[in-house]
Chain A
């Protein structure tokens, strides 16, 4: 329970912003998974924060899943095989985050023949090549994409030197019937390189950044006998950014990175027909290097050069679990995970019990219940108001304790086979301790001493999730999902110690997704979403006080209680028409003609005071994306 799988082929048929198919945005259409700000690829699962999602790409942790300030996820849909999100009832094999596990597996190359897939969109183009290296034993797949708005605008003599690219590659080698080796890698970067187009030395200006993820996984799959299997992996993950700027004689360069090296082993033992035991262990060495700074010129007074802090975290876990069929009607999944983290001389550890039960009522329906305890030893230092490429992960410290959650959930599941439809209703309650927020006025950027800026508090969330999912059999497929939920926080030092709603506490979330195959050549899909407004802390009042030297007056803002204002609800309709060419040909192609936000509805993300035509002031909610047409051409041969 609490688990949703997506089919990348089905995702491809759905409307997408700018024609860029994005798995995370499709996940946001699922119950219990809420979007952050308009267009963003952040996920807020069952009242959690975006850093409480464990995002795995072929087992490697992805620390920054967004391109273009988070408007697109880093996952190239063409490279994906399985996408699974777990929101509750976590198996004991997963740990390290409180709210969800997004487990993404990439495609394996075709070991029979060569295939090429590709697409040309408004924002990017992509290509995938796959084929055998040694027929039946060794194959590869290579997927790459790049945005090219920078190149297009350059033709028209406009300078927007921003682009992103990514590359997925995988090789699998079947050594023998009992041994297979996989090597998977991901490499992606966002690049901005702004510079003044002038010959005058005094006007020299430059600003740029590079940020990206780099993951590598080597996995050895071994079959001992008919009852025992194992997967042992060595995993490397790196996320880094560097920002540089030049203003005449002033220059700065800031680099930060997180680098992980880990090993993980999972074993499955089929004890008998009624018991399937799983056990394993993992160890990850996290290496943090925040804020390595180099500056010159007058900037040195405000941005001082430094080598940055060297932080490390050793995170480990062992687990044991069992899938047990207690009776034909009752199935149990139970397990225990022991996790620990060593940060400097401080050791944190704890047991994380997990249990899930399924009671089969009849052939069609069942009831499921689960309990999970999760612990998190790392957190993202990020402003609640905006996501920046400078957001960095930091480990627990002596004063900042690990986040802990306890979640219970209960669900009813109904399968209507004659309609190829599944219906589910799930209720959950999640209690979270040692949550992290920032002190009011916290200095977030270029700050190595976060202990002084962070606060520990608590929170809870609860809700009810509905899903009706029609499988892609017949002409129509799609789903309807609805979530009603609440998420609150309480920090002694914030909001006068009073409980407040989480920023993305959206009361109602409704998604209607439909795909209709008109004929062999034409398909149509539509998505309509409605979400209650997110929370905001606007300036509602002001007062005037003398400045420090008592020579002038400063007007200071009075903010409303934290997240006390609920912005207007948002809703939008996205459409996509797919025109396919004749299928008999070896070269197959299709056009995607679509639009985002057909009726140009505003999805508010902030409240501002603006001046009206008559000079009076009023409050206004700003949105980001209106009607956006899209056109894409996909092919394969």
Chain B
């Protein structure tokens, strides 16, 4: 009898809950115009590489069944046969398509000139879309000191790094420090959990689609004391035998704001309560960010520090 009552009550509650959720309504939305998307990288021994892709509808499937971006998707968004030029120091040079990677354009003879403004232009004859973006190459800054160590906390070994930067001081600077490690010869970004690592997510009642985020830091020279910026940081997902690659980059203010907004828009709270955020861009008539920064790189393990800076 008690079981019958219990089941009846459950059935009543189920009907009540079901009745609380009306059928969603479909809606048609106009797709935004396809625009060119820019990403760039300066190569250590001279030259530059630019990636040119297209924006796409929210209704486009991006990932294959294995959770990775599908080859078809990458092929669809890559912009082939575009006209890409870079202008600096009163010289204009073409970037040519990479033979193996669609959407990648390169020129290995582009010179790296400090405080020079580079103007990137691209034109896609297929769609008629064109973009223009400007970026100024800043001087690279090296870590003044950097060290790693392992600390035992709550019976677990945690990997820390401690560093200091000598800020030039005479101009305002914005910095990015990013962390990667080598896995099977490939650089892999370190991730940090959006919540402390021992919190069981299933019990937080938070619907976090991506509980981890790329671990990087951005900061300005405002916190410098006598032109020295110091910091200490714990890195997650590191074992003492891992080799960690730490990159320090002197970035433009606009790119700092781009990264800052990107990071803010991915937090736990903003994922369900935040305001809509369109990332800022320096690409006229397009998306993404055109950069000409140059990182200095340090390899770290728990037992040694190796300076691999290649650009002085």
Contacts and interface: CB of A to CB of B under 8 A. Distances in A.
A36 to B, nearest CB: 15
Given A545-B37, A615-B61, A617-B61, A552 B189 contact: yes
Nearest to B201: A247
Contacts of A175: none
A70 to B, nearest CB: 13
A383 B273 contact: yes
A579 B22 CA distance: 29
Interface string B8-31: 011001001001111111111111
B203 interface: yes
Among B57, B77, B178, B278, the one with the most A-chain Cβ atoms within 10 Å of its Cβ is B278
Contacts of B37: 543-545
B51 interface: yes
Nearest to B280: A440
A48 B153 CA distance: 52
A549 B22 contact: no
Contact of A540 (B9, B26, B57, B269): B57
Among A297, A554, A619, the one with the most B-chain Cβ atoms within 10 Å of its Cβ is A619
A546 B53 CA distance: 11
A546 B39 contact: yes
A298 B151 CA distance: 14
Interface in A516-539: 537-539
Interface residues of A, number: 81
B156 to A, nearest CB: 10
Given A248-B198, A620-B26, A600 B287 contact: no
A553 interface: yes
A609 B58 contact: yes
A441 B264 contact: yes
Interface string A273-304: 00000000000000000000000011101100
Interface string A553-569: 11111111010010110
Given A248-B198, A546-B51, A601-B22, A441 B58 contact: no
B19 A600 contact: yes
Contacts of A610: 24
A272 interface: no
A494 to B, nearest CB: 9
Interface residues of B, number: 78
Nearest to B267: A443
A602 B22 contact: yes
Contact of B58 (A194, A539, A600, A629): A539
Contact of A621 (B27, B31, B56, B186): B27
Contact of B200 (A203, A538, A602, A607): A203
A176 interface: no
Main secondary structure of the interface of B (DSSP, over half): mixed
A624 B20 CA distance: 7
Contact of B287 (A383, A445, A558): A558
A100 B288 CA distance: 44
Interface string B25-62: 11111111001010101000000000101111111111
Nearest to B199: A247
A607 B24 CA distance: 10
B29 A302 contact: no
A156 B6 contact: yes
A551 interface: yes
Interface stretch (A85-93, A384-392, A475-483): A384-392
A539 to B, nearest CB: 5
A220 interface: no
Among B39, B199, B247, the one with the most A-chain Cβ atoms within 10 Å of its Cβ is B199
Contacts of A439: 275
Given A207-B205, A618-B26, A541 B58 contact: yes
A628 interface: yes
Given A205-B203, A247-B200, A541 B31 contact: yes
Interface string B74-118: 000100000000000000000000000000000000000000000
Contact of A442 (B195, B199, B275, B279): B275
Contacts of A600: 19, 22-23
B189 A547 contact: yes
B275 A385 contact: yes
Contacts of A194: 205
Among A196, A541, A603, A604, the one with the most B-chain Cβ atoms within 10 Å of its Cβ is A541
B289 A558 contact: no
A221 B126 CA distance: 81
Contact of A549 (B25, B39, B154, B214): B214
A543 B27 contact: no
Contacts of B267: 443
Nearest to A438: B275
Given A203-B200, A541-B32, A542-B58, A388 B69 contact: no
Nearest to B21: A626
B247 A549 contact: yes
Contacts of A568: 25, 27
Given A540-B31, A556-B262, A607-B27, A551 B180 contact: yes
B65 to A, nearest CB: 10
Interface string A178-218: 00000000000000001010000011010100000000000
A313 to B, nearest CB: 25
B71 to A, nearest CB: 13
Contact of A440 (B31, B41, B188, B275): B275
B76 to A, nearest CB: 11
Among B32, B37, B195, B247, the one with the most A-chain Cβ atoms within 10 Å of its Cβ is B32
25 contacts: A194-B205, A203-B200, A247-B200, A298-B196, A383-B274, A440-B275, A443-B264, A444-B274, A543-B54, A546-B51, A548-B189, A548-B214, A549-B178, A554-B214, A568-B27, A603-B22, A607-B29, A618-B26, A619-B28, A619-B59, A620-B26, A623-B22, A625-B20, A625-B22, A626-B22
Interface of B: 6, 9-10, 13, 16, 19-32, 35, 37, 39, 41, 51, 53-62, 69, 77, 154, 176, 178-180, 186-189, 195-200, 203-205, 214, 216, 234, 247, 259-262, 264-265, 267, 269-270, 272-279, 287-289
Q: Which 3 A-B pairs have the closest CB atoms?
A: A626-B22, A298-B196, A549-B178
Given A541-B31, A541-B58, A565-B29, 14 more contacts: A250-B199, A439-B275, A440-B278, A441-B264, A538-B58, A539-B276, A542-B60, A543-B288, A546-B39, A546-B41, A551-B188, A607-B27, A622-B24, A628-B20
